[in-house]
Amino acid sequence: MRLDKRTFSVVETDNKFKYFASIATADGRVFVPLLGQRYQYKNLAKMFQGELLQGTAELLFKDGDFYVYLSLKKEVVVSEPDATFTAIGVDLGLHNLSTSVILKDRPTKASFFGGKPALAMRRQFAEFRKSLAKAKKLKRIKASKDKESRCMRDINHKVSSAIIEQALAVEKPIIVLEKLQGIRQRSKSSKKLNRMLNSWAFAQLQSFIKYKANWNGIPVVYVDPKYTSQKCNRCGFIHKGNRKGRNFACKKCGYQLNADLNAAINIAKQYKNLASSYMLEALGDVTTPLTPAMERKQCEEISVVDRGNPNI
């Protein structure tokens, strides 16, 4: 049930339960303590400090409990990106749910979020549902699917928060993602389970990254996913055979690194190239590519930040 501002408000008190929902009913106003997690209390505190604004509110009754879904709003300025921004390239995949890298003059910090826990979780649910299917327990199958979605959602929240945290550590960050179509295409040959993960879980992850980034004033851009996994980020050589599973080994220059990291660097570089060619265009010179000397320097210093069981 949707609640409007006349029927619902939050009240701050000195009570043990600090925040109460004040809901107008046919029998007068009802005050109910709001139980939540620490971050939710923090957000409510920010609302009373005027930092956040109350958005829509919804009341749900589920399994004998009432739930209030309250959205909070904030006004943010998301700057128009240009070549002075620092690109954080994000590659999404299965071995690593996300691989993100900060590209300054060269790639500096890579962060991996391992995909093993998500895959293990999904396999467990799939197995469990097989047994339910045999017993024809359709209701429980539906419940299990809902639970799995919630688990994946939690994981996506963790991954997206970690990427935002990484971006906030640099000055003028911009997050670069692949246009989603590419992720789907790339996984055409993978198993059914993986395809399912790709179709909605990646879309959700991208949307979480986008809204959390914008919430923090960080712009997000999408680049063409073509060849991001086949292209050598050092010499630019494109070949299907460059990538062998988790490893990338350039058939032309011999450069080797983790395949997901190579893709993330390519994604970040796409923005950098777009931004710099745009700047150069404004200056009337679109022909100057990165010099070979600069290219060669790239990737010498990559520190890896561990985020939950990386599959490198």
Site residues (vs Zn ion, CB under 5 A): 232, 234-235, 237, 250, 252-253, 255
Residues 6+ apart with CB under 8 A from 229: 91, 186, 243, 259, 262, 263, 266
Cβ-based nearer residue to Zn ion, 198 or 270? 270
Residue 104 DSSP one-character state: S
Q: How many residues does the chain have?
A: 312
Helix (H) and strand (E) counts for the chain? 8, 15
Q: b/e for 144-158, b at 16 or more Cβ within 10 A?
A: beeebeebbeebbeb
Q: Are strands 8-12 and 2-3 parallel, antiparallel or unpaired?
A: unpaired
Q: Do 166 and 303 touch, CB atoms closer than 8 A?
A: no
Cβ-based nearer residue to Zn ion, 33 or 289? 289
CB of 101 to Zn ion, least distance (A): 17
CB of 201 to Zn ion, least distance (A): 32
Q: Which of 72, 59, 86 is nearest to 4 (CA)?
A: 59
CB of 242 to Zn ion, least distance (A): 8
CB of 252 to Zn ion, least distance (A): 5
Structure tokens at 232: 């050598």
The span from the CA of 245 to the CA of 166, in Å, is 26
Cβ-based nearer residue to Zn ion, 272 or 307? 272
Cβ-based nearer residue to Zn ion, 101 or 213? 101
Cβ-based nearer residue to Zn ion, 110 or 250? 250
CB of 148 to Zn ion, least distance (A): 40
Cβ-based nearer residue to Zn ion, 113 or 255? 255
Cα–Cα distance list, 194 to 149, 202, 286 (Å): 14, 11, 41
CB of 241 to Zn ion, least distance (A): 12
Residues 6+ apart with CB under 8 A from 143: none
CB of 235 to Zn ion, least distance (A): 3
Cβ-based nearer residue to Zn ion, 89 or 219? 89
Cα–Cα distance list, 255 to 39, 78, 178, 259 (Å): 44, 37, 23, 11
